[in-house]
Amino acid sequence: MHEHVALVERVRQEIRRSGVDPIRDAAGAHAVIDAAMGAYYAERLESNMDAAIDPAILRRQLRDSIAGFGALQKFFDDPEVEEVWINEPGRVFIARAGRSELTTTVLTVNEVRDLVERMLVWSGRRLDTSTPFVDAMLPDGSRLHVVIPDITREHWAINVRRFVHRPRHIFDLVPLGTLSTQAAAFLDAAIVSGLNVIVAGGTQAGKTTLLNSLLGCVPASERVVSCEEVFEIQLPHHPDWVAMQTRNVNLEGTGEIPLRRLVREALRMRPSRLVVGEVRQAEALDLLVAMNSGMPSAATLHANSAREAVTKLCTLPLLAGQNISAEFVIPTVAGCVDIVVHTATFRDGRRRIREICALPGRVESGVVEVADIFRGDQHHLVRAGGFPPHLDRFEAAGIDIGRILAEDAGSAAP
The reported pLDDT for the residue numbered 403 is 95
Residue ranges covered by each domain of the chain: 2-68, 73-161, 170-404
**Residue 30 backbone phi and psi in degrees, to 5:** -65, -35
The reported pLDDT for the residue numbered 411 is 46
| 237 SS3 class | coil
The reported pLDDT for the residue numbered 332 is 97
Query: Cα–Cα distance between 128 and 147 in angstroms, integer?
Result: 10
| Position 146 confidence tier, pLDDT thresholds 50, 70, 90 | very high
At the topology level, CATH places domain 170-404 in: Rossmann fold (3.40.50)
Res. 353: pLDDT tops 60: yes
Query: Cα–Cα distance between 232 and 208 in angstroms, integer?
Result: 7
Residues in the chain: 414
The reported pLDDT for the residue numbered 165 is 67
Res. 199: pLDDT tops 70: yes
Mean pLDDT of 172-199: 96
Question: Tens digits of per-residue pLDDT, 298-348?
Answer: 999 999 999 999 999 999 999 999 899 999 999 999 999 999 999 998 877
At the topology level, CATH places domain 73-161 in: Beta-Lactamase (3.30.450)
Amino acid at 414: P
Choice among 146-150, 198-202, 271-275, 407-411 with the minimum mean pLDDT: 407-411
Pick 376 or 8 by higher pLDDT. 376
Res. 56: pLDDT tops 80: no
Mean pLDDT (the chain) is 89
Q: What is the pTM of this model?
A: 0.82
